[in-house]
Structure 1
Amino acid sequence: MKRSGPLYTLLAGLLLALFMLSLNATTGTGSSSYGGEEPGAASSPGTATATPSEEPAKSPSATPSASPSKKPQKPPPNADYAGRTDDDTSAVSISLRDGKAIAYYCDGRDTESWLKGNVEDDGSMRLTGKHGAKLTGQLSGKRVRGTVDVDRSRTFTAARAVKPSGLYRATTEVRGAKLDGGWIVLPDGSQVGILNRDGEPAKAPRLDPRTGTVRVDGDVVTARPVTP
C-alpha cells in the first residue's frame, strides 16, 4: 500500500501535464487567428491611411478679349470761322481757342446774340447765350455746320476765316454814350454788324479790318478780334 501512493501521484501529474499542454495548444491557435490583419480588414483607429492626394481642378483663366485700340482724338485747332445762315438773312462767326468757343449771331439790323461754351474733341459744340439763345455745331474739315436759335431757328455754314476776316468787338464810351459793337467780317470782304448806343441797337458803321478802327460820331473807336 505504501508503494501505490507515489504511483497515483505520478499518474495524476502526467494527466495534469497533458491537460495543460492541450489547453496551451488550443489558446495559441485562437490567438493566431485574431492577432494578424486579414485582407480587407479595416484599419484600427489612430492608424494613418495613405490616400493619393487630389489637386483641385483649375478653371481656365478668363482672358479679356482684346478690343481694338482707338487713337486718341486731337482737340480742334485754334481757328476762326465766319459765314451766313442758309436763308442769307444773318451771319454767324465762331472763334475756337483751346477747346473753348465764343460765337456771334447778327442780322445787321436789330437782332444779335453772343454765345459761348466748350468744343469737344470730335469737333461738336453746344453754345448758349442770353434769353435762351443756342448754337449747336459740328466742325468738319475747314468749316462748321450747325443750327443757331435766337429769334428763330436757322441753319448755317461758317468757313474758316483768314485775317482780316473773323469776329471783332468794341466796347467803349463816346460823348457820354456807352457803345457796344460787334462785327463779322466775312471771307468775301462783306461785313455784318450791330452797334448798340446805350442799349439801342442799329446797323454798325463799316469797320476798317486792316486797322480794326471805326468812326462813331466823328470819333475813332478801335475794335479788337474776339477770342474765348
Structure 2
Amino acid sequence: MKRSGPLYTLLAGLLLALFMLSLNATTGTGSSSYGGEAPGAAPSSPAKGASKPAPSPSPSKKPSEQPSERPSEQPSKMPPPNADYAGRTDDNTSAVSLSLRDGKAIAYFCDGHDTESWLKGNVEDDGSMRLTGKHGAKLNGRLAGTKIRGTVDIDKETWKFTAAKAVKPSGLYRATTEVRGAKLDGGWIVLADGSQVGILTRDGRPAKAPRLDPDTRTARVDGDVVTARPVTP
C-alpha cells in the first residue's frame, strides 16, 4: 500500500500534462474563429443577393435655358380707310355726308332749306367719331362695314342718320366764292340715287342751293357759273 502512493502521484502528473497539452492545442487553432479573420486573409465577399448601398445621387444638371420666345407681333392698329359716305336722316327730312381721310373726318348736315352745319373731328381706330361744329353742333357716329350710323345735334334738335359708302359722283361738294360783290358759300350732298340736298348761303342768308352738275361740278348763280370741289378733311 505504501508503494502505490507515488505511482498515483506520477499518473496524476502525466494526466495533468496531457490535459495542458491538449488545452494549448485547442486554444491555438480556435483563436481564429473567435478573434475574427486571421492576419493576411482575403476579405470575405458579401453574401450573394445582399443589397448594395445606393450610390449618392449626383447633383442634377440644370436644364439649359431655352431662349425666350419673342412675343407675337401685334398687328398695328390702322384708322378706317379713306372714303366718302352719304345718306339721309331716318325721318327723311335732311341729308348727311361725311369724308374720311387718314383718321380725320369732315361732315355736312343739310335740310335743303335753312339748317346746315359743317362738323369735323377725329375717327378712332374702332370707327367711332365725335365731330363738332359751330354753335355747339355735334355728330356722334360709328363706321361699321360700309355704313356710318349716328346722330346729329343742332339747336337742341337731334336727327338719326345712316350714310352709306359713296361712289362718285355721289358725295360731298362745296363752293366758296364771291359773285357780284356777294359772298357765297354753298354745300351739296349728292346721293346714290342722283338726288341732291344743298344750301347756298349768300352774305349769311341761307337758301336752297341751285342744282349742281355732277359731271362738271358746276352750278349757276345769278347767271354766273360757280365751281364746287369735293370736300376732304
TM-score by length of 2: 0.68
The C-alpha deviation readout for 1:162-194, integer Å capped at 9, x for no partner, is 100000000001111110000000111100000
- In the alignment, structure 1 segments of 5+ residues that lack a partner are 1-66
Task: Tell me the equivalent position of 1:33.
Answer: none
Q: 1:192 aligns with which of 193, 197, 207?
A: 197
- Give the Cα separation in 1 of the matches to 2:165 and 2:177: 29
Please say if 1:201 is aligned against 2:206.
yes
**C-alpha deviation, 1:100, in angstroms:** 0.3
Contact 1:165–1:186 (8 Å) recurs in 2: yes
**In structure 1, C-alpha distance between the alignment counterparts of 2:153 and 2:232, rounded to whole Å:** 21
Matches within 5 A, 1:104-115: 104-115=108-119
The partner residue of 1:84 within 70, 85, 88 is: 88
Contact 1:73 1:122 in 2 (8 A): no
Give the match for residue 221 of structure 1: 226
1:62-115 alpha-carbon deviations (Å, 9 max, x no partner): xxxxx9986433210000000000010100000000000000000000000000
Give the one of 94, 97, 122 matched to 2:98.
94
Counterpart check, 1:132 vs 2:139:
no
Find the residue that maps to 2:135 and give its secondary structure.
Answer: helix
1:146 aligns with 2:147: no
Equivalent pairs, count:
163
CA separation in 1, counterparts of 2:158 and 2:72?
A: 40
Match of 2:45 in 1: none
Question: What's the counterpart of residue 160 of structure 1?
Answer: 165
Give, as a single letter, the amino acid of the residue that structure 1 aligns with 2:170: S
Larger radius of gyration: 2
Q: CA deviation at 1:150?
A: 1.1
Q: Which residue of 2 aligns with 1:13?
A: none
Distance 2:160 2:76 in 1: 30
One-letter amino acid of the structure 2 residue matched with residue 177 of structure 1:
A
Q: For the aligned residues, what is the CA RMSD?
A: 1.6
Q: Does 1:179 align with 2:175?
A: no
Q: Secondary structure at the match of 2:220?
A: strand
1:40-79 to 2 correspondences below 5 Å: 71-79=75-83
CA spacing shift, 1:154–1:69, aligned 2, 3 Å: farther
For structure 2, the 5+ residue unaligned runs are 1-70
